[in-house]
Structure 1
C-alpha cells in the first residue's frame, strides 16, 4: 500500500528548521530527507513545488510567533561594568538582499547602482546581561532611525549603546528625561556649544588639542542646534593607521554618491568622539570608551548568523524558496540562541561559535525530542554541562577579548 503524500504545516516547518540546523546549505533532497523523520513523506520534486507564497507566509507566521516570546538566561552575566545598569541594550540592523521578484513583499532601496529592489532588514536588539534577543523584520528601505527598536522605551537605569543609525537628539532627550542612559558616537557636523550657548568650532578645537599633545579629553557641552542637550563630550585621538582607514572609507562612500567629503568631516576621522548622559561618578571616561566597544558583540552575532548560519545565502534561484529559507534560518538562529541561554550565556568568556557548533552536532537528537518535553529538558541539561567543558574563548594577551576587557575594567586601555 502506498503511503499518503499529505503534507502539513507542522512537519513542513520542522523539516525546514532542522534541515538548516544540520546543514546550512541543504539541497531540496536534503530537506526531504530531514522531513522524513517528521512525517514528511514526499519526494524532493514534490517538496520543491510546495515553496509557494502560502508556504512563505506560514514560515513568516511561525517566525513572528517565535520572536514574540521573551526568553532570558536564568543567571545574568556577573561583570561589574554591566552591573552598574539595570540592563545594557545593543541595537543594530543587518540587511539581506532578495530577488527582485520579492519587492512587493520586502521593498529594497532600489535606485541606481547596485542597490537591491528587494531586501529585508533585520532590526535586532541584544541585552548583554540576560542575553534576551529581539528580532523584527522591516523592508530594506526602512530607516534605522524610525525602527520599532529605535523607538523602544526601556526601564530607568538601563543603558543603550547606540550607533549613528539611531542618532536622534530629540529622542535621546526624552530617554534622558525617563532616566535611561545612553552612549553614542557624535554625528559629524552636529552643533556643539558651550554651556553658555556659544558655538564651538569642533575642527579647530580638536586641532588645538592635538597641538597640545592631548589625546584624551572630556568636557560638558550642549549639542544640537535646537535641542541644546547637556552631555559629556568625550574625545580620543585615534592611531594614524585607524584614522587613515576611516578617511579612505569616507572618500569611497562619497565617491559612490558622486561627491567629495568635506574637510571638516575628514578632520573628524582623527578622533573617536562619544557623547553620554552618564554621570562621571558612575562611569569614567575610559570606562565609557571600553563599554561602548561592547557594541562589537552584535556585529559578531550577525557574522555568526551569516557565516555559520548561512543567513542571506541560497543555492536556489526560486524567489519563494529563498524567502522560506530566510525565515527558516532566522528561526534556526533564534532557537539556537535560546539554547545558548540555557547554560552558556552566564559565562563571561563564552564562545558563541563553539557553542553553536556543539548545538549543531546534537541537532539530530534535538529534532527527535522537540515534541517530548521531558526528553527535551534532559538534552538541554546535557548541553548546559557540555557548554561548561569546551565553549570558552581562548585568553589573549596582545589583543584581549571584549569579555577580558570588560572584566578587567580600564586596565587594557
Structure 2
C-alpha cells in the first residue's frame, strides 16, 4: 500500500525519536558546523521544520515557517535569518542524520557467522535507490526521465555485512552514473575486503583496481562480457614468443549453458575476462529452471531480444 507524504514523514519522525536524542542531534549539528556557537536556532529546529511542522516546506513562505517555529518551539527567528540558515551546512547536517539513522538501524541486525570473518576483513555491499521528485527540484536534482518527471534523486549506500558499519552514503541526481561513484569508493578498500555490487557498478577497470589492492569483488556478468580460457597450445613465432591472437580461447557461454541441466550450477575456474587486458576471475554459471525462465520472460520488456552475449 502506497503511503502519503505525511505518513512517510510520520514514520521517519518515529525513527528519529527512537534512535537520535536531542543531545545527539545537537552534537551532529556542531560536528558539521551547522551550529558553531550557542544559538537559539539548533539542529532540532531545522528537523522540526523539515519533518514535523512543514511537509510542504518548499512551498511555504519564510514568514509562515518562522511563525510555525515560534509556535511550536518558542524560537523566534526573522525570515531573513531563517533564510540564511538554509545553507550547505544545513544540507550536510541532514545528510549526517540520515547516515546516523541508517547506521543505528542496521546495527540492530545480527552479524554474519564467524566463517566469513576467517576469509574476509569486510564484506562490503554497495547499492543504490532512485526516486522521483517534484519538477521544481530539476535544477538541483536532474531526473533520469520517465513518467514525465524532470527531477529525481539517487541515494547510493555502502555498508559492511560483518560489522554492519555504514561506510558511504551519497545523495545526488537521479541520472547520476553508479559506476562513477563505485570507482570513487575503491580508494577506501583494504586487503582482505570483498565488494558486492550489481550490474550498475560493473567495470572491468574497477575490478582490476580492486584486485591490485589485494581485495575481492563479486558481481553478475554483463551480457556483452566475453570469457576466455588460456590456450594450452598457442601458436608461436620463431623466437618462441606466443602469438597474441592465439593466447586465449573464447568460451561460448550459450553453448556451455546448454550442457547444464535446469537448476544446475557450474564453476569455471582459471578463466579470464576483458577484451584486451585479461583479468583472471572465477565465473559461476547457473541454468535457470523452466519456471524461473518463465518468470524472467514475464518481467522482461518486449523490445529486448536475445542476442549473442559476446558478439560474432
**TM-score bin, normalised by smaller chain:** 0.5 to 0.7
TM-score normalised by the chain length of structure 2: 0.64
CA positional deviation for 1:263: 4.3
In structure 2, the CA distance between the partners of 1:52 and 1:204, relative to structure 1 (3 Å rule), is: farther
Does residue 232 of structure 1 match 2:276?
A: no
Does residue 135 of structure 1 match 2:169?
A: yes
The answer to whether the 8 Å contact 1:159/1:182 transfers is yes
1:345-385 per-position Cα deviation (integer Å, ceiling 9, x unaligned)? xxxxxxxxxxxxxxxxxxxxxxxxxxxxxxxxxxxxxxxxx
CA positional deviation for 1:62: 1.4
The answer to whether the 8 Å contact 2:186/2:210 transfers is no
| Matches of 1:200 and 1:176, distance apart in 2 | 23
Q: What SS does the aligned partner of 1:130 have?
A: coil
* 2:41 corresponding residue in structure 1: 8
In structure 2, the gaps of 5 or more residues are 1-38, 232-247
Out of 213, 217, 241, the position equivalent to 1:182 is 217
1:155-197 per-position Cα deviation (integer Å, ceiling 9, x unaligned)? 1101111111111011101111211111111111211111221
CA positional deviation for 1:217: 0.7
| Matches of 1:132 and 1:180, distance apart in 2 | 18
Out of 165, 170, 173, the position equivalent to 2:200 is 165
Greater relative CO (CA pairs within 8 A, separation 6+): 1
CA positional deviation for 1:245: 1.9
Out of 243, 248, 254, the position equivalent to 1:203 is 254
| Matches of 2:87 and 2:295, distance apart in 1 | 42
The answer to whether the 8 Å contact 2:143/2:152 transfers is yes
The answer to whether the 8 Å contact 1:32/1:40 transfers is no
* 1:118 corresponding residue in structure 2: 151
The answer to whether the 8 Å contact 2:226/2:273 transfers is yes
More strand per residue: 2
| RMSD (Å), alpha carbons | 4.0
In structure 2, the CA distance between the partners of 1:207 and 1:104, relative to structure 1 (3 Å rule), is: same
Aligned length: 243
* 2:86 corresponding residue in structure 1: 55
More deviation, 178-187/60-69: 60-69
CA positional deviation for 1:16: 3.9
The answer to whether the 8 Å contact 1:9/1:58 transfers is no
In structure 2, the CA distance between the partners of 1:201 and 1:75, relative to structure 1 (3 Å rule), is: closer
| Matches of 2:73 and 2:151, distance apart in 1 | 33
* 2:133 corresponding residue in structure 1: 98
In structure 2, the CA distance between the partners of 1:74 and 1:9, relative to structure 1 (3 Å rule), is: closer
| Matches of 2:55 and 2:292, distance apart in 1 | 36
1:173-228 per-position Cα deviation (integer Å, ceiling 9, x unaligned)? 11112111111111112111112211111111111224xx7811111211121232
More helix per residue: 1
In structure 1, the gaps of 5 or more residues are 1-5, 266-413
In structure 2, the CA distance between the partners of 1:80 and 1:9, relative to structure 1 (3 Å rule), is: closer
| Matches of 1:78 and 1:10, distance apart in 2 | 35
Larger radius of gyration: 2
| Matches of 2:130 and 2:97, distance apart in 1 | 20
TM-score normalised by the chain length of structure 1: 0.49
